[in-house]
Chain A
Amino acid sequence: MNSTDMKDSAVKHLVLKDWRLNRMQIFLSMAAGVLALGVIQRGGETAFVVGGVWFFMSLILVGHMLPLVGILNERKKQNLAFLMSLPVSFLQYTTAKLLSTLGMFLIPWLTLVSAGLWLIESRGILPRGAIPMALILAFMPFVGFSLITGAVLVSESEGWGIAVNVACSSSYALVWYFLGKIPGLMSNAMAPSPVWNSAARNVLECEFGLVVAILGLTFYLQSKKKDFV
């Protein structure tokens, strides 16, 4: 076995280890999201609002808890010192952490978001015109997830993690409010087919850009560090 093989396998095992430690949480949040979609499907305004909020909450839950528990806890409980005794560099640890956390987030996120879109598309729980807004809404916890992941990895502090968590949780409603003010977004939500106007595209690109930028910056800042543990 040559050294590159061994290097890759150590990163792979760190990722598998994270999956082992967090899989229960992922299944639970996925189950919660699916249940919420079930509630929405029963029809009626109350069911729609309750199910919708519940659905959004389960996306937030998995997006926020994964980095807080998976990264902060590992540091707080001094498991990180153990991990760093393994044949990995700090950058490889960061890579493994970003890969595993992102992967573990994407599994429930992609599943739930596609299920939600499918319900709109084929079951008509909302007019098709709501698809752009639904996507924009779904991307918000993704941005929150990247922010918290970056914050806990870079700051290495529980305080910052919690602060960013609270800030994200409380700004979703605010962001939603301002999005409503952008002309050409909400007005098309009741249209019979999705309207991909520049407003919708810009917001989505903005969200996606933020995710990439935050994760990239995190990786860059981690590579500048000199002392670990």
Chain B
Amino acid sequence: MNGAFAISQSDKRAMYLQIMEQVKQRIAVGDWTEGQTIPSIRQLAVDLEVSVITVKRAYLELEREGIIVTQQGKGSRVASTPGLGARLREQELVQHLDSALRIAAQLGIRPDELEERLREAGDRLAEKETI
């Protein structure tokens, strides 16, 4: 069973994107380590109650990104790239920064102003944690 997976119906993103993200998260948090065998496409489809084709799509994209390796008849495993988990966490950070920049641009906030705002946010978080 892959109990920690769940597809959200209210998430506007395509289901295969949600699956990709959750696979990445499992690798990022270290649940799945480099070279480890992961559930087969059909098995994950059964566990998630989604169609095989959706999981297949997610696995294909993940393979294209070099995160997993699928071998015909042998199933799929996490790619044996050292430091893959850390790289995925890094990637996640970059994505969040990118989207912050995009939203800032829409609001007319310049990058240097954004930097200032980021520092302020850091202070707020630190304050909360001390309380």
Judge A-B direct contact (beta carbons within 8 Å). no
